[in-house]
Chains A and B, each alone.
Chain A
Amino acid sequence: MEDRLLLWRFKQGSAEALKRIYIKYSRDMFTLATAMVRQSSTAEDIVHDVIVKFAQSGRTIKINGNLKSFLMTSVANRARDIMRRHARNDAMLCTKANEFKELAQVTFKDERLDQLTQSLGQLPYEQQEVILLHVRGGLRFKDIALCQGVTNDTVRSRYRYGLQKLRSLMENEVSK
């Protein structure tokens, strides 16, 4: 209910509402963005782009679902755009991967979490996205399906296969 009130005030032009929305969801957005692109500066750019665009949308914004889902989807969409652009440049992608590894090593003191992010990066991007959006972002499968432009079943499959592979990767890592 608070989100609805915040959103209404934001649509009325309230700067305070925008601040509160940012404070409330910035960590989730950063986490999702970082987990997807594995580079802190790019994640910051993604969050920056998403929140500035959100601020510009003002009264005309159309929200599908709840506010958190909207912001998470926006981050995922923006991250996907960036990843596709980067995919055209293998060298750059490689560099980013190295940066992410460094970042992950710095950020996660927990070895298990570090292992998780390493394994996550080895999954196909669509599967990573589904897992992160569903588990970390809290989006429903149908909302993710809309976001990815695929059917509900495809999303469920990606989620299931992604999790199986992630478990397998982590088990292999442990057994090494």
Chain B
Amino acid sequence: MRPTENIKQMLKNLNFEADGQVHKRILDEALAAQAKTIAPAQPRAGVWRIIMKSRIMRYTAAAVVMIAAAASVIMMDKVVPVANALEQTMKAFDGLRFVHITLKNGKSEPREFWVKFDEREQVKSFRAYASDDPPSDGPKVFLWNDGKLSVWIKKDNKVITIHDTVRNLELLKLVKKCDPRTIVKELYQLESEGKVMITTSTPISKSQPLIITAKFLRLSNDPGREIVLYADQTTMLVNCATMKDPKEQYTVEFSDYNMAVDANFFTLNEVPRDADTFDLTRLGLKQDELGDNEVAVELARQFVQAIVDKDYKKVNKLCGGMFSDNYYSEQEKFKYRKIIRFEEPTVLDVTQQRMISVPCVAVANYGGGELILRTHILVGPAIRDEPNKTWIVLNGGRNNDKVEIIKDPTDITTTFMRNINAKLASLDINKSTAEDVTKVLGEPWAYRTQGKDLERNDLPEAYTIAYPGGFIINIYKDQVVQWGVQWLPGYVIPGFVLADSIQIGTTLDDVFKKLGPPAKKVDGFGDKSNKIMYEDNLIYANMNSNERKGFCFYTLNSNGEKIRIYLDDDVLYQNLRAAKGLCMYGKISNGKRIRILAKDNKVVSLFEYRTEPIKDIK
């Protein structure tokens, strides 16, 4: 052995040893020092499997896997706080109040968020921008404040405010998913549960980011997923994250940490003043703790009571703000006067939207009289699947098919209708005035026009006199135009009969047997394609019935203007306005012009129409 090698060997054999007492003293003090550094209440982070990327690791990968399975392994490369990489980034997020998040390459919209956090690290506000979500909707600006989401749809110049909706929660979920602090905390938690494996790489140059790679293991809900965080080595704040899973890969960039922003940043003050605003948080009725049936009945009760109280603003609110405040006061065919009771609701799943029908028994003005009706008020959630649903009235019972007259409190209807033919026999339709009619038939229940009640001493040129049982008389320039009845569902009162046997409910076949078959049939008259059509294209925008001999039909032109056109007698207008099964027919029989509206082959409206033109009284 060479002298130098000999010396080396001697050095290697060099040994000093302290005695047992010295070892014990040193070790006891070391253990005491160690014990002091471990806070007793501090939870441990669980198993850290942090494997530093290094050249050594490439050759010891197999061994690492084996040991990692048994316990956990720490591989050391350079001076790197491996176990604390996530902890340090979490610590760096202490006091985080603001961050700008940008999504790249992903499918999710919106892709840009500015997020404000409160002191409890919860999202307090965020502003987001979507370029085209969904396609065709155009750019949108989202503003979220304490659970309330406002969406400015630029294309429609419309702002919709919603609360606790699915869309609302989806956006909040997306923000949380992209919140850098949440990402780091979740990885920390998952790693402690052994559901992800963390590897950390620290470049020597401080200008290069610390790279933390999290691979989701089989135990996790997303095996195969990978998240790579890039953190600034000086601040330990995450500046970028790449998310890879089998379905999607995207990058999230984080910037402007704790940047001071203007107080108006989290308001939609840029929205034009003329924008339409719909605040759904103030409409309808929140479900809260109520069950579906309970909220449905409560909503129906509030709705009907609001009509009784003539509080049409509330009516509109409960209807989801879909109508003008005066809609119900003007358009309803009957008016609730007093609630009697609500009956067992029925759940309807006829569409994808869950709806509930609430039977309401109430005293109402209907057909000019006061009756006890059973209507069915249809209610449903304004937006599907939201956790705390806002319920709105979808149909306030104005659907005639659902209306039942269950009792006539005065029995005047049946009495009136029982004698109607005899009373009318004393009147000549071509010569009678409004005063003549009321002298014979008695004081009417109402004078009405276009759904509105009128004062007797302030009547317009054209109006309707309403009697019990749906019997009405149309007046124009103080002269009778027609009289007759309309079908009231569930309310069959024999009374008004024309041509000896034609009444409400008579089949069209029986009508033709009695009156003779129509000379001509016209199909689809007045449908949307041909708008207002008549054989000679004559349109009568006023009641100058001298120009035609037929009977009157109301329709709307393309401008929504209500006009009247006169139909020929002895022609069957079937599938009227493209409504299948709806027919209109007029025929003069024994000097009386009979006008029939039939639905599904049965008479639902029966009138005697004057045969002589209206006299133009000046």
Contacts and interface: CB of A to CB of B under 8 A. Distances in A.
A4 B26 contact: no
A44 B44 contact: no
Given A44-B18, A52-B30, A55-B33, A66 B76 contact: yes
B73 A113 contact: no
A24 interface: no
Contacts of B80: 62
Given A22-B26, A31-B14, A47-B26, A8 B72 contact: yes
Nearest to A146: B79
A96 interface: no
A7 interface: yes
A56 B67 CA distance: 27
Contacts, number: 134
A117 interface: yes
A51 B30 contact: yes
A44 B18 CA distance: 7
Interface stretch (A87-95, A131-139, A147-155): A131-139
B26 A27 contact: no
B11 interface: yes
A165 B44 CA distance: 53
A145 interface: no
B63 A1 contact: yes
B58 to A, nearest CB: 15
B11 A131 contact: yes
Given A12-B44, A18-B30, A40-B18, A163 B7 contact: yes
B140 to A, nearest CB: 47
A13 interface: yes
Contact of B22 (A4, A31, A44, A166): A44
B31 A116 contact: no
B84 to A, nearest CB: 7
B30 A27 contact: no
Nearest to A61: B81
Interface string B69-95: 001111110111101100000000000
Interface stretch (B34-42, B326-334, B459-467): B34-42
B31 A5 contact: no
A62 B15 contact: no
A132 B10 CA distance: 11
A4 B34 contact: no
A167 B26 contact: no
Contacts of A11: 74, 83
Nearest to B72: A8
B74 A4 contact: yes
B interface, by DSSP: helix, strand, loop or mixed? helix
Interface string A38-67: 001001100110011011111110111110
A113 B81 contact: no
Interface string B27-63: 1011101111110000010001000000000001001
A55 B15 contact: no
B561 interface: no
Given A1-B63, A13-B44, A60-B81, A44 B26 contact: yes
Nearest to A163: B4
B8 interface: yes
B79 A64 contact: yes
A35 interface: yes
Q: Taking each of B12, B30, B71, B79, which has the highest tally of chain A beta carbons within 10 Å of its own beta carbon?
A: B30
A172 to B, nearest CB: 12
Contact of B10 (A30, A43, A112): A112
A35 B79 contact: no
Contact of B33 (A5, A27, A43, A52): A52
Contacts of A167: 3-4, 7
Interface in A79-122: 107, 112-113, 116-117
A30 B18 contact: yes
B67 A1 contact: yes
Contacts of B76: 4, 7, 63-66
A48 B26 contact: yes
A77 interface: no
Interface string B14-28: 111110001101110
Contacts of A107: 16
A166 B7 contact: yes
B73 A5 contact: yes
A15 B18 contact: no
B576 to A, nearest CB: 85
B13 interface: yes
B258 to A, nearest CB: 26
B91 to A, nearest CB: 12
B13 A51 contact: no
A5 B71 contact: yes
A117 B11 CA distance: 9
Interface of A: 1, 4-5, 7-8, 11-13, 15, 18-19, 22, 26-27, 30-31, 33-35, 40, 43-44, 47-48, 51-52, 54-60, 62-66, 107, 112-113, 116-117, 131-132, 135-136, 163, 166-167, 170-171
6 contacts: A1-B67, A54-B30, A113-B10, A113-B14, A116-B11, A136-B11
Given A59-B37, A116-B7, A116-B11, 17 more contacts: A4-B76, A7-B74, A7-B76, A8-B83, A12-B48, A13-B44, A22-B23, A22-B26, A26-B23, A31-B14, A35-B14, A48-B26, A57-B37, A107-B16, A113-B10, A135-B12, A171-B3
Can you list the 8 inter-chain pairs with the closest CB atoms, starting with the nearest?
A34-B16, A55-B34, A58-B37, A55-B30, A8-B74, A135-B11, A55-B33, A31-B16
